[in-house]
Amino acid sequence: MATIAYPYPNLFPYIESKCLWSYSIDGEEHKEFKEPLSNWDYKASLEIKCKLTWNIRDIFEQANLLKIINYSRIAIIEISSPGQICSGRKKIFDYPLIDLKKLPDQIILKINSLNNSSNIQFRLIIYTENCELNRFKYKKGSILYDEISTLVLEGERARISLQRCDFKDFNNENAMWFVKFDPKNLYQTFNETYTLFLNSNKKNLEDQIKRSTHLKDALKTDFVITIMCSTLLNEDLDIDLDEDYPDSSLGFQIKEWLKDFGIESKTNLEKFKFEITYNQNIVKRKCQNLFCSDFD
């Protein structure tokens, strides 16, 4: 990490890498900030984890600042963009380094997702109280280290296109959901090619899906099968396994799913299309095996 020209001795020259930041949505497995939020919404439960990649005491010792470690603190500030409630910044973690032995290896925080839209920035700082070292007086709030990491909630990150409507209008009042898939070409942005409709007459359906692993799995496999089969059986959408489709495109997503099925050659692709046409039940079983939760 580059040295920052603060007018007093600090930790910047001795910290070579940023912390490891990860997130979890609705209790799912943690993912790094760089990975897409595939199921983000404003009612989601958002958990943030910050893991230091360096030892605090060692860094203070290398910087010859060990004498002021007991007068220093580590804090995390959430900087939220405008959401459904408000925007702003607030300190969500603040810990005195005099109790360094009790500081957990990973800092885990719950975030109010309603406050956020677009992205959230997390600023980690190490700062001082009023103290003195080698005749230099550190004022309260003097920054010894500072880094910012951003979690993107929208924009380039994946976000499900979801609508709720009365299924009586489709003469399917007992159905729970359906996927409307209307692609223009394989280069189209994936999230623009489909809409997931939930039946508004099914009370608390969205909450039930979130709570039920089996419903989530059923929805996930139905979603994948609908889009993948519709794409591969559409003569106007001729997937090319050798083509480098843009990362956020329909073509890229189809190729990724095909890799999950072990299909990376034209011969295997033709066999797979045959299965989709004449033995779709086999394809559905394979899809369940790949995308349903493992309870072992």
Q: Which of 118-122, 196-200, 244-248 has the highest mean pLDDT?
A: 196-200
pLDDT reported for residue 70: 97
Q: Which of 52-56, 155-159, 202-206, 207-211 has the highest mean pLDDT?
A: 52-56
Query: For residue 137, what is the enclosing H or E element?
Result: strand 136-138
pLDDT reported for residue 82: 46
State the average pLDDT for the chain: 85
Q: Show the domains of the chain with their CATH numbers.
A: 12-152 (2.60.40), 162-291 (no CATH)
Q: How many residues does the chain have?
A: 296
N- to C-terminal Cα distance for the chain? 42
- Quick one: angle between helices 280-291 and 266-278, nearest 10? 110
Burial of 174 (0-12, 13-18, 19+ CB in 10 A): exposed
Give the span between the Cα atoms of 80 and 152, in whole angstroms. Answer: 11
pLDDT digits (tens, 9 = 90+) for 172-197: 889 999 899 999 999 988 877 888 88
Confidence band for 81, pLDDT divided at 50, 70 and 90: low
Give the span between the Cα atoms of 140 and 276, in whole angstroms. Answer: 67
Inter-residue contact 83 to 43 (CB < 8 Å): no
Give the span between the Cα atoms of 27 and 248, in whole angstroms. Answer: 25
